[in-house]
Amino acid sequence: MGFPGEPPRRQPYVQPDTPPPAQGERWFEPAPHNQSPRGSESVPYGHAPRGAEAAPYGQAPRDVDPADTARPAQPEQPEPPEQPRKAMWSPYDEGPRSRRPIFIALGALGALIAGGVGLAVLANSDPPPDPHTAAPPAQASSVPLPSSPKGKFGFAGSRATDRYALTLNELFGHRKVALGRQRYEMTTRRTDKKCNDAVVGSNIQKALTAGRCTQLLRASFRDTAGAIIGTVGVANLSTSAAASKVISAGAGKSREEYLKALPGKDDVTKFLGKGEAFAGGWSHGHYAVMVWFQYKDGHLPKDDEVKKLNQAAFGAVDATVTPALEARSLTGKRP
């Protein structure tokens, strides 16, 4: 406030719109504390501040207290809050940061999510049919496997259902065999494609020929003590009837037609075929199983000794041949 006719008092400072600072001023430093902000016009020494009327020479200007040279007469105004400086251009400035990378990253993330969902849908869906691939045949209804041929010996009843040739390893694959407490050692083995060469007697040879024998396999054994020695043979015929005829040929109390013994090169089985023996046989389907067992010294066995020879022959057969032929009865193939 003032009196009528007085010049107006100095108004509170308001930052005027001023031109850019003159060359040589600092652009990047803030104004010192309690000084005019950058951009206000400086007051020359001895001049009155802008907005106050100059007084005649020698007189103090109106409403100007000598103490005003040290501080303004106006009431102290609260310092306005500091305004954030506007960034000024610099040749080293990279310019405002773009938000485009953020948008691009978000877009890529969305594409990945959409792609993952699409792959999951494709994985769970059936693939489209290939026009160049023929449609798979319709799945056949379950058909039961063919049952074993009728008869006591199953597939082994005839060579038509058991057509694979026997092998030495199939029948006589182990050098040492056992059945219960009986122990046997195989000393030699052999396969004859000319079946007649492995038997003695014209009738049995004729039966092998009529039954179309294709192979006759033999192996020789000794017991643990070396007292009993023998040969086991298996002939492969066309039918069960042909095998039965081979077994019955020359049958009688004194057998004159039998399996030929196969001597080994060891000190025990080399005596096979010399002396008296227990000879015989039986059929297993289209196979004729024949045996020759004797004592090492070839003496005529007594009744109790014949029983021991019989037990040794069946023991050696059941430890070797029988499991293989039973497998043939079940499958018609090599075990």
Q: Tokens 């978000």 sit at which residue?
A: 106
Q: How much is the pLDDT for 78?
A: 60
Q: Is the pLDDT of residue 322 over 60?
A: yes
Q: Region 192-215: what's the mean pLDDT?
A: 96
Q: Region 105-123: what's the mean pLDDT?
A: 52
Percentage, residues of the chain above pLDDT 90: 49
Q: Is the pLDDT of residue 120 over 80?
A: no
Most confident of 139-153, 231-245, 246-260: 231-245
d(CA 98, CA 83): 24
Contacts 24+ apart (CB under 8 A), 91-99: none
Contact 292, 221 (CB under 8 A): no
Of 157 and 73, more confident = 157
Q: Is the pLDDT of residue 246 over 60?
A: yes
Q: How much is the pLDDT for 335?
A: 76
Neighbours of 36 (CB within 10 A): 13
Q: What is the mean pLDDT of the chain?
A: 74
For the chain, give the secondary structure using H, E and C. Answer: CCCCCCCCCCCCCCCCCCCCCCCCCCCCCCCCCCCCCCCCCCCCCCCCCCCCCCCCCCCCCCCCCHHHHCCCCCCCCCCCCCCCCCCCCCCCCCCCCCCHHHHHHHHHHHHHHHHHHHHHHHHHCCCCCCCCCCCCCCCCCCCCCCCCCCCCCHHHHECCCCCCCCCHHHHCCCCEEEECCEEEEEEEEEEECCHHHHEECHHHHHHHHHCCCCEEEEEEEEECCCCEEEEEEEEECCEHHHHHHHHHCCCCCCCCCEECCCCCCCCCHHHCCCCCEEEEEEEECCEEEEEEEEECCCCCCCHHHHHHHHHHHHHHHHHHHHHHHHHHHHHCCCC
Residue 155, CA distances (Å) to 228, 242, 300, 332 in order? 34, 16, 40, 5
Q: Region 297-302: what's the mean pLDDT?
A: 94
Instruction: Quick: pLDDT tens for 166-176.
Output: 999 999 999 99
Q: Region 266-279: what's the mean pLDDT?
A: 94
Would you kindly state where each structural domain of the chain is located, as residue ranges? 154-331
> 80-94 b/e with 16+ CB inside 10 Å = b?
eeeeeeeeeeeeeee
Of 52 and 211, more confident = 211
Q: Is the pLDDT of residue 248 over 70?
A: yes
Binned at pLDDT 50, 70 and 90, residue 245 comes out as very high
Residue 313, CA distances (Å) to 32, 183, 219, 288, 289 in order? 126, 12, 12, 15, 11
d(CA 121, CA 211): 68
